[in-house]
Amino acid sequence: MKRVSVDIGGTFTDCFLVWDGQYVEAKALTTHHNLALGFNQALKNAYEKIDLDLETVMAEADSVRYATTLGTNALIERKGPRVGLLVTAGFESTLPLSRGRGYADGLSERMQADLPMAKRPDPLVPIPLIAGLRERIDTNGNVLMKLIQDDVRRQVRKLVDQGAQAFVVCLVNAVSNPSHELLVEEIIREEYPSHMLGSMPIILSHLVSGRKGEYVRSSSSIMDAFLHQVMYHGLSSLELNLRETGHKRPMLVIHNSGGMAQLNSTDALQTIHSGPVAGIHASEHLAEEADLGNVICTDMGGTSFDIGLVVSGGVKFYDFNPVIERWMVCVPMVHLLTLGAGGGSIAWYDRMHHTVQTGPESAGSDPGPACYDKGGMQPTVSDADLLLGYLDPDNYAGGAIKLNPRRSKFAMDEALCEPLDISVTEAALLTRQKVDNNMANGIFQELRTRGYEPRQFTMLAYGGNGGLHCCGIAEVLGIDKVFVPPFSSVFSAVGAGNMHQLHIHEKSLYLTIYDSNTSKLFDDFDHLNQIIADLEEAGKNDLLRQGMKAGQIKHRLEMDMRYGNQLAQTAVVSEVNRIESRKELLRLIGVFARDYGKRFGEGSQAPEAGIRVNTVRVASYVELDTVNFGHMRKPEGAGNPVKKPKDIRKCWFVGHKEALDTAFYQAEDLKPNDAIEAPAVVVSPSTTFLVQPGWRLIMNEQNAGWLLRVDQGN
Amino acid sequence: MDKIEALEPNDDQFDEETMMAKFLEETTLFLGPDPEIMGDHDLAERSDREDEAMKKVTDPATLAIVRDRILAGANEGFEMLENMGAAPGAKWGDLVTGVFSAAGDLAISSTGGVLIFSSLVHHPVKFINKYWRDEPTVGIRPGDVFMHNDARYGNIHNTDQSMMLPVFHEGVLIAWAGATVHEGENGAVEPGGMPSSAESVFDEGLKLSPLKVGENYELKRDLVTYFQNTVREPKLQYEDMKVKMFVCRRIEARIREAIDEYGVDAVIACLRVGLEDTRAEVRRRVSEWPDGTVRYSHFADSTLRENVMIKIKLELRKKGDTLTFDFRGSSPEFANRCNNTVQASLKGMICQLFLAFIWPDLPRCQAAFAPMVVLTDEKSALNSSYLTPNAQSMMTFFPAFTGAQIACAKLMFSIPNKSTKVVAAWYDMINTFLYGGMTQHGEIVGNVCADINGMSGGAHGDRDGENAVAPIFATMADIGEQELVEEEVPFIQIVSKRLLMDNQGMGKHRGGMGYEMMVAMTDSEQWGFMVTCIGSKTPNAAGLFGGYACPTYPLCKVKGVDVFEMFKSNPEDFSYSMIDVMNNQPFKEATYSTHHMGLQYELTRRGELYMISQGAGGGYGDVLERDPLDVMRDVEEKLTSQTLANNIYKVVYDTETLVVDEAATQKARDKERAARKKRGMPFKQFCKQWSTKKPPANIPFYGSWDDSKLIYGGSPEETMTPDTMRSITMPHPKDVRIEALEAELEAAQKKLARSAKAKAAPKAKAKAKAAPKAKAKAVRKGRKKSR
């Protein structure tokens, strides 16, 4: 396998190069003005490590894959065209009102609770760029009012006069009957033909999502329209860069649905958060390869703590209405929970309960923690870690950032020690204990609302601060094994290297499969199977368009099911791709009942209220080769004892009254199966691993490692 | 309650008082709401067990960690409830979960959901503790499931159903787990759970005093069946009872795990310490406010059946660490209208004010309101008695909320340490449609549109309020997606969300604006709508510091039309503006009418139009200080009309380019300022000109006028004092109408009779005169015929 995988983040461009069994990780600064420069540099940093040259790599690589935050940045910076929105008349304020709750989508719970401070984000489409069209279709797709063509022309011109540079058309119930949206497109094309300079992109909502919900569908379509240009230019320039450097195959872009595709089968919205999703995908791949069982993926960075979930048995967790930046959308995205906890989380005095709280406010990277010495005056989690002795002030982030412990002490003293009348060390310990508990509570809630117990999981810890806090979090959760994956500093790029080509198509429908009023079971199987066939066809076409062979294509059928009128929709993976008989339908109902009972409690099922299918979803995919990481399984024994290093320092730990002598190791000095006894700190250029008392670290290949709770039989 | 040992009839070892107590206990007809429980919103006394636990576990950091863990469990339950719940309310945030202390104080409430429940759901738990614990036929045992929805025993109104599970440790009750959802349908006289035509508590549907509905974590099927038979949506009743029980079980499991990990003392202590800490913090915060008194009177302009003026009088006094909300002098209660508020509900609503609008950083627990004092007159609309209906208590306690919001804003304006901003009044009314009938899927339903959550925000000191953003009673509530609603019910919103021009509380910064709605039924054998709002005559949201109040809103109807036929035949002629529809009356043969927003359940035909608007938030500051560019932005966005821009904001601009003529604007504003001065008068003169000693006779006025101890009951002659307060009985509007029509008929008949008599007199004279001539004519005619 010869493969280049890249994750373009806000600060760094990460590269993971696989070359005939050699795995190389490398980083370079992201070059926002021209992403290709950062890409080239990161790639260069990688291939030079194994004595290759650019021409060889580009010519011989089987694929080049990208995960990018380009879209997220464009949203934050509001870099996009003036989008004109055409909606059904009477719904002109649906978007500006954002379901009411849009004032706080994407904000912390604290801000959500503060109504006087409620303020919606600056809109992507301002009110003057929204126009209503005279038309109406009902829920079953019947036309109540025909589209009035002259009215469309009037409204389109009005929007163009207002400066519209692109159009989104989102008409009510267009997913039941798209004829009006298609007609609007035709009219706009008549007015602004595609071969003319004045031609403008048009996005029809029913093509962006097959799900009902006029607000979320319009916000999804707008985001697509808004990002289209910037993403197109950014990604096209990258593809052009590949061509110029000798790569002949189409570039592959990672999707937030957990798959990837070529540019001609990618819409802008699918690329948002693709980096973190790729990280979860890498975890899934590792879980399979190393037989990890259920895995909770944790990525603790400077400002946030991302949690992902991978469970055995093929169950996938999606967010069907994820919030992107500040807007709720309706594209299926691999589930990812982000908590406001990271190295930069601010520790503050909780006057009410006379103790320490942390976050969700963060010092970010600028000014950053007090110890960064860049003007930050408030104590943070990183300051606590420094004061407890875990961080090397002169060698943090590979020596890139010099830390000033005096600043940490000062900030801690002023903010916490004075009101609590405790020492700096005590304040730092309380800070650490609190943030670890906060993150653990996030994981508790995340797993338990889905019917899982943390103790049944292996924790995967990556991200800059993951290795420092994973033992603390795991202890609270009762988890006894933590795996620090290989190439953890470029883990998203690693995930990109293992993706399959995949497309998801779905359709909303009102399908009562068991009517408890009449005790009748659904039997119009032809109708249902036709819907499934249409969705499979759409996915198949996506893949054929990218040169896949029909014989390679597989489909996975999922149905969102619910009892009665509940909001909960359980995504049930069907064992068969067509429902041909009542027996098969009853089996599907059985799987639903099993999954539902697992999540909400056995006996909580309520088929007496009827059973419905709300969405039919088909994932069409082609499985590609994946990276083999080698032996990553949990070690059987206690590992090989390692000689204590000379670098022994005093570190403080939660639950210990005195500082403990703690050994500091350099990661490059360690070999697979080396066992590091606690307390210890292992420093690598990209991260730091803390082996807390009660734990043991057994090194693995590729700088991976197992942190195992010694007193739990490991 | 201490049990009294059995006494022999002739046993004279006990004193009279004890014997009397026993006699009364033995002869209690039934256990109504306990005034001792319902009147007390403070925390229960710290128990010996709590005291012991607090001595054993003293580390605040440990307690905070245990508290967070239990909160995570409550949030987990909340997420389950939101997902599993079948009620529309569960889907748009009208729910809550929580953990109570053993005594029944709500100690930890879920982060999301309806805040008002935070100080309301403890009463039924306390009732259960007091009356059912030692009652041999009930008892409290592990696995028991209790339920409640009667607001007279706690909570807001009986559309909200609560479930509670006791949590035991080694045989000792240590906590309660609870879940509450606004269920909607409850079998009342009208569908949807919030009847406005209820004339007695017996019209309000299912009313459950706290009762046991399950044992060993199983719901009792006989009771569930009974409840299902009592309401219009048996599926909903069944599903959500089951859901709430499983949610409570989940929370109970999390409490148990916390006990396993940290010990039972840590759990007991963390609940109690959290409550006591919060109460102390509230006292500290109150003490930062300046001492003083603020008065604000607000009005409810309807009982939902008739136009009246119901006074909500508030005097807010701050002294030291005590805030006293004195509502005495407010309107009397109504014996046969359901707009009465149980005093506990009033307290819950004011607690909501503090948790969402004043100190949103406080923990969500009952203690947040514990130190406040609330004074009301008994038998008043804000402290109604046992037999008065209360399904629409919002119609009096929402205005009370607004009064408190304005009064608090004035008191806290100048303090340096605020947890959030001071804003003008939030729109406080549920301008939405309730509906009921047979769906396209053959099911009977009754519920309310999610637009109930579309209340607009009050203006800020530095910016406009948010348009239709969140209800006063919940955060992160949802106004929903019409496409999803239309799948379930047989009506569509023709106009769903369209901000209504000039619908704003004007000011230097305007309040958030509301949107108009136009609905029509598409296809059902039987379907009807309701609207249950006040604010058609007097505004619901007040302005602040010179800002205007919101407008008033009518309900508009067009009957005798099938609008969908017009969609087919003349789609270009259809107007999406309720103002144009009502003014231009485009449908021939149709009937157009406007009403106050108290529409009792009314059957509708396909295509008939019902139209209302969401309300606006209050404005902040003087309209003449509004930045002309803000006015122009609103004009461009069609939120402000040219009339308003010119006449209220006094902005002069080019109507084509919207470029402001700054000099002319300044001149226009100066002129208006001068005119204001000219219109002004000394206060004494104003009082002389405007003040009267009694309320006007032509307005049905309820409440005190200028003396809070003299309360009027609908006319200047009908007076009472707090001690002699009595319920007001209103005539049935149909009777009033019949009476009026009968009077009209009688008058018309009399007039007709007089007119007939008057006409008859000369005719008779003439007839008498003409009789010989007629006879001669008849004879001639007869001859002619025979020829």
ipTM: 0.90
Same domain? For B213 and B315 the reply is no
Q: Return the pLDDT at A87.
A: 98
Whole-angstrom Cα distance, residue A357 to residue B92? 30
In a domain, A248, yes or no: no
Burial readout A283-293 (b: 16 or more C-beta within 10 A, e: otherwise):
bbbbbebbebe
Residue with tokens 């490692």: A705
In a domain, B616, yes or no: yes
- C-beta of residue B203 within 8 angstroms of C-beta of residue B337: no
Q: What is the pLDDT of residues B129-141, one digit of tens each?
A: 999 999 999 999 9
**Is pLDDT larger for residue A72 or for residue B410?**
B410
Q: Which of A110, A214, A434 sits opposite B483 (nearest CB)?
A: A214
Q: Where are the beta strands (DSSP E) in A146-266?
A: 166-170, 202-204, 252-254, 260-262
Same domain? For A610 and A511 the reply is yes
Same domain? For B260 and B298 the reply is no
Whole-angstrom Cα distance, residue B604 to residue A646? 87
In a domain, B687, yes or no: no
- C-beta of residue B399 within 8 angstroms of C-beta of residue B436: no
Sign of CA dihedral B22, B23, B29, B33: negative
> Which residues of chain B have a CB within 8 Å of the CB of A432?
none
> Which residues of chain A have a CB within 8 Å of the CB of B422?
116
Reduced 3-state DSSP string for A161-179: HCCCCEEEEECCCCCCCCH
In a domain, B36, yes or no: no
Which residue in B has a C-alpha nearest to residue A429's C-alpha? B61
Minimum mean pLDDT range among A308-317, A517-526, B346-355, B538-547 = A308-317
- C-beta of residue B327 within 8 angstroms of C-beta of residue B343: no
> Which residues of chain A have a CB within 8 Å of the CB of B76?
444-445, 448-449
The answer to whether the Cβ–Cβ distance between B487 and A146 falls below 8 Å is no
The answer to whether the Cβ–Cβ distance between B72 and A444 falls below 8 Å is yes
Q: Return the pLDDT at B774.
A: 59
Kindly state the tokens that stand for B727: 């319920």
Q: How far is A152 from chain B (nearest CA, A)?
A: 12
Q: How far is B321 from chain A (nearest CA, A)?
A: 16
DSSP code at position A332: -
Which residue in A has a C-alpha nearest to residue B452's C-alpha? A100
Q: Return the pLDDT at B738.
A: 95
Kindly give the parts of chain A with pLDDT less than 50: none
Rounded to 10°, the helix A424-448/A405-412 angle is 80
Whole-angstrom Cα distance, residue A173 to residue B486? 9
Q: Return the pLDDT at A31.
A: 81
Whole-angstrom Cα distance, residue B262 to residue B194? 44
Q: How far is B598 from chain A (nearest CA, A)?
A: 24
Q: Determine contact: A354 vs chain B, CB below 8 A.
A: yes
Domain that holds residue B336: 289-420+704-728
The answer to whether the Cβ–Cβ distance between A132 and B576 falls below 8 Å is yes
Domain that holds residue A425: 345-435
Whole-angstrom Cα distance, residue A333 to residue A316? 10
Kindly state the tokens that stand for B229: 């038979």
Same domain? For B501 and B592 the reply is yes
> Which residues of chain B have a CB within 8 Å of the CB of A352?
277-278, 280-281, 362-363
Kindly state the tokens that stand for A584: 């098969």
What residue type is A383 in one-letter code?
D
Q: How far is B569 from chain A (nearest CA, A)?
A: 9
Mean pLDDT across B317-339: 97
Burial readout A331-364 (b: 16 or more C-beta within 10 A, e: otherwise):
bbbbbbebbbbbbbbbbbbbebbbbbbbbbbbbe
Q: Which of A90, A96, A212 sits opposite B487 (nearest CB)?
A: A212
Q: Residue A677 forms beta bridges with which residues?
A: A696
Q: Determine contact: A145 vs chain B, CB below 8 A.
A: yes
Residue-level length of chain B: 787
Q: What is the band of B211 on the pLDDT scale with cuts at 50, 70, 90?
A: very high
Q: How far is A441 from chain B (nearest CA, A)?
A: 6
Residue with tokens 């449908």: B587
Q: Say whether pLDDT at B95 is over 60.
A: yes
Residue with tokens 């007390």: B40
Q: Say whether pLDDT at B786 is over 60.
A: no
Q: What is the band of B8 on the pLDDT scale with cuts at 50, 70, 90?
A: low
Q: Which of B72, B277, B564 sits opposite A353 (nearest CB)?
A: B277
Rounded to 10°, the helix B234-262/B264-288 angle is 100
What is the domain-level CATH number for residue A585?
3.30.1490
The answer to whether the Cβ–Cβ distance between B454 and A100 falls below 8 Å is yes
In a domain, A332, yes or no: no
Q: Determine contact: A657 vs chain B, CB below 8 A.
A: no
Same domain? For B498 and B370 the reply is no
Whole-angstrom Cα distance, residue B614 to residue B632? 23
Q: Which of A351, A448, A606 sits opposite B239 (nearest CB)?
A: A606
Q: How far is B722 from chain A (nearest CA, A)?
A: 36
Shortest CA distance to A557 belongs to which of A539, A540, A576, A543?
A576
DSSP code at position B163: E
Whole-angstrom Cα distance, residue A67 to residue A5? 8
Q: Determine contact: A127 vs chain B, CB below 8 A.
A: yes
Q: Return the pLDDT at B104.
A: 96
Which residue in A has a C-alpha nearest to residue B419's C-alpha? A114
In a domain, A151, yes or no: yes
Helix (H) / strand (E) containing A231: helix A214-244
Q: Determine contact: A388 vs chain B, CB below 8 A.
A: no
Residues 154-183 in A contacting B (C-alpha not used; CB under 8 Å): 172-173, 175
Minimum mean pLDDT range among A54-68, B121-135, B530-544 = A54-68
The answer to whether the Cβ–Cβ distance between A215 and B481 falls below 8 Å is yes
N-terminal to C-terminal alpha carbon distance within chain B = 109
Q: Residue A146, Cα to own-chain centre: how many angstroms?
A: 41
Which residue in B has a C-alpha nearest to residue A176's C-alpha? B483
Q: Say whether pLDDT at B787 is over 60.
A: no
In a domain, B84, yes or no: yes
In a domain, B541, yes or no: yes
Burial of B233 (0-12, 13-18, 19+ CB in 10 A): buried
> Which residues of chain B have a CB within 8 Å of the CB of A109?
111-112
Q: What is the pLDDT of residues B222-235, one digit of tens each?
A: 999 999 999 999 98
Q: What is the band of B785 on the pLDDT scale with cuts at 50, 70, 90?
A: very low
Helix runs in B141-262, H state only: 221-230, 234-262
Whole-angstrom Cα distance, residue B230 to residue B233? 9
Domain end residue (candidates: A183, A210, A237): A210
Cβ neighbours, 10 Å, residue B545: 17
Residue with tokens 């992403």: A35
Q: How far is A513 from chain B (nearest CA, A)?
A: 13
Testing the interface with A: which of B278, B402, B475 to mutate, by most A Cβ within 10 A?
A: B475
* A284 backbone dihedrals φ, ψ, rounded to 5°: -60, -45
- C-beta of residue B86 within 8 angstroms of C-beta of residue A566: yes
Q: Residue B521 forms beta bridges with which residues?
A: B491
Same domain? For B69 and B119 the reply is yes
Task: Give counts: helices (H), strands (E), chain B.
Answer: 19, 23
Q: Which of B91, B467, B564 sits opposite A97 (nearest CB)?
A: B467
Q: Return the pLDDT at B691.
A: 92
Burial of B314 (0-12, 13-18, 19+ CB in 10 A): buried
Residues 435-454 in A contacting B (C-alpha not used; CB under 8 Å): 437-438, 441-442, 444-445, 448-449
**Is pLDDT larger for residue B707 or for residue A36?**
B707
Q: What is the pLDDT of residues B655-695, one digit of tens each?
A: 999 999 999 999 999 999 999 999 999 999 999 999 999 99
Mean pLDDT across B336-359: 94
In a domain, A655, yes or no: no
Q: Residue A149, Cα to own-chain centre: how many angstroms?
A: 42
Q: Return the pLDDT at B11.
A: 61
Same domain? For B392 and B451 the reply is no
Q: How far is A504 from chain B (nearest CA, A)?
A: 22
Q: Which of A99, A139, A564 sits opposite B483 (nearest CB)?
A: A139
Same domain? For B68 and B118 the reply is yes
SS3 at position A539: helix
Same domain? For B312 and B213 the reply is no
The answer to whether the Cβ–Cβ distance between A104 and B476 falls below 8 Å is yes
- Give chain A's radius of gyration (CA, Å): 27
In a domain, A572, yes or no: yes
Q: Return the pLDDT at B2.
A: 43
For chain B, the domain total comes to 3
> Which residues of chain B have a CB within 8 Å of the CB of A145?
567-568, 571, 574
- C-beta of residue B213 within 8 angstroms of C-beta of residue B219: yes
Q: How far is A119 from chain B (nearest CA, A)?
A: 6
Cβ neighbours, 10 Å, residue A659: 15
Same domain? For B151 and B226 the reply is yes
> Which residues of chain A have a CB within 8 Å of the CB of B480?
99
Domain end residue (candidates: B591, B621, B651): B621
Reduced 3-state DSSP string for B702-765: EEECCCCCCEEECCCCCEECHHHCCCECCCCHHHHHHHHHHHHHHHHHHHHHHHHHHHHHHHHH
Cβ neighbours, 10 Å, residue B373: 12
Same domain? For B245 and B385 the reply is no
In a domain, B213, yes or no: yes
A446 CB contacts (<8 Å, ≥6 apart)? A296, A307, A309, A337
Mean pLDDT across B703-719: 96
Same domain? For B320 and B345 the reply is yes
Q: Return the pLDDT at B771.
A: 65
What residue type is A197 in one-letter code?
L
Q: Residue A83 forms beta bridges with which residues?
A: A166
Which residue in B has a C-alpha nearest to residue A512's C-alpha? B441
Q: Return the pLDDT at B299.
A: 96
What residue type is A668 in one-letter code?
E
Cβ neighbours, 10 Å, residue A566: 24
A679 preceded by a cis bond (ω within 30 of 0): yes
Shortest CA distance to B316 belongs to which of B333, B292, B340?
B292
Burial readout A546-558 (b: 16 or more C-beta within 10 A, e: otherwise):
bebeeeebebbbb
Domain end residue (candidates: B621, B640, B663): B621
Same domain? For B500 and B383 the reply is no
Q: Determine contact: A99 vs chain B, CB below 8 A.
A: yes
Shortest CA distance to A166 belongs to which of A264, A51, A86?
A86
Q: What is the DSSP string of B635-658?
A: HHTTSS-HHHHHHTS---B-TTT-
Q: Return the pLDDT at B551.
A: 97
**Is pLDDT larger for residue B29 or for residue A46?**
A46
Mean pLDDT across B191-218: 95
Whole-angstrom Cα distance, residue A635 to residue A705? 10
Q: Return the pLDDT at B12.
A: 64
A360 preceded by a cis bond (ω within 30 of 0): yes
Burial of A308 (0-12, 13-18, 19+ CB in 10 A): buried
A306 CB contacts (<8 Å, ≥6 apart)? A276, A279, A297, A298, A299, A300, A336, A337, A338, A339, A463
For chain A, the domain total comes to 3
In a domain, A595, yes or no: yes
In a domain, A384, yes or no: yes
Q: What is the pLDDT of residues B613-624, one digit of tens each?
A: 999 999 999 999
Q: Return the pLDDT at B457.
A: 98
> Which residues of chain B have a CB within 8 Å of the CB of A91?
482, 496-498
Q: How far is B483 from chain A (nearest CA, A)?
A: 5
In a domain, B186, yes or no: yes
> Which residues of chain A have a CB within 8 Å of the CB of B494?
90, 136
Q: Return the pLDDT at B1.
A: 39
SS3 at position A512: strand
Q: Which of B69, B82, B355 sits opposite A567 (nearest CB)?
A: B82
Distances (CA, A) of B560 to B345, B516, B518, B585, B588: 41, 22, 16, 12, 9
In a domain, A291, yes or no: no
Domain end residue (candidates: B592, B621, B650): B621
Q: Return the pLDDT at A30.
A: 79
